[in-house]
Chain A
């Protein structure tokens, strides 16, 4: 059974720091991995999608990497800003689930960037 773990559960950093959020998964049979951002009381906003054949994806100050063989992904945020404060979720789309396209989510990392 696929399990997704995100460490740390919470992180507080001063503005301007570069930081790394970690995501690990137990089964490498995935189609892709997606990073989301969720603001309090809001929906999920997609940040980056990495296909299983890719190693990394970049969007602005965000860079996500994927090492399928070791079951790990990292989300790197450069020059963090208070507006980056949110919960970050990673999710893997599992293979072997037929047409489900089921996403398995981690519990998230809640990030606070202090001015």
Chain B
């Protein structure tokens, strides 16, 4: 099925560990974004990309890296996990400016 695919769905990390959250879309969307969702804080933008090879920071980028080597994939890397990064992470994509976003099903991350 067409859409945004995120893996893994669940992950538990120890403080200081690193990992990569995967995001792939098969809709040929240029724009991709990562959001985190926290109780009481809503959804906040971490990083975004307007096309292959182009990325930039969002509202809460510290502790995260991204790259965009292909149109389809937009992985999010946690460099050294901290308990404050315990959250639900959503990847989203859209075709062009003004079009609506499609969201993935999320990755629930716990850092202990």
For B50, the chain A residues whose CB sits under 8 A away are 99, 101
Between B42, B94, B105, the greatest number of chain A beta carbons within 10 A of the residue's beta carbon is seen for: B42
B42–A106 touching, CB < 8 Å: yes
Complex alpha-carbon distance, A91 and B108, angstroms: 21
Q: Are B101 and A42 in contact (CB under 8 A)?
A: no
In the complex, which residues of chain B have a beta carbon less than 8 angstroms from the beta carbon of A93?
98
Q: Which of A15-23, A43-51, A65-73, A75-83 contacts B (4 or more CB under 8 A)?
A: A43-51
Q: From DSSP, what is the main secondary structure of chain B's interface residues?
A: strand
Contact A43 B45 (CB under 8 A): no
Residues on the B chain within 8 Å of A46, using CB: 100-103
Interface size class of B (residues with CB under 8 A): 20 to 34
Min Cβ gap A99→B in Å is 5
User: Given A43-B90, A43-B106, A44-B90, are A103 and B42 also a contact pair (CB < 8 Å)?
Assistant: no
When distances are taken between beta carbons in the complex, the residues of chain B under 8 Å from A51 are 98
- Interface assignment of B26: CB less than 8 Å from any CB of chain A: no
Interface of A is mostly: strand
A42 in contact with B106 (CB, 8 Å):
yes
Instruction: State whether A107 touches B48 (Cβ < 8 A).
Output: no
B37-59 contacts to A (CB < 8 Å): 40, 42-43, 45, 48, 50, 56, 58-59
Could you list some 29 contacts between A and B, CB below 8 A? A31-B98, A32-B100, A34-B100, A34-B101, A42-B106, A43-B103, A43-B104, A43-B106, A44-B92, A46-B100, A46-B102, A49-B99, A91-B43, A93-B98, A100-B45, A100-B56, A101-B94, A101-B97, A102-B45, A102-B48, A102-B58, A102-B59, A103-B33, A103-B43, A103-B45, A103-B92, A103-B101, A105-B42, A105-B43
What 5 pairs between A and B have smallest CB-CB spacing? Answer: A49-B100, A43-B105, A44-B103, A105-B43, A99-B50
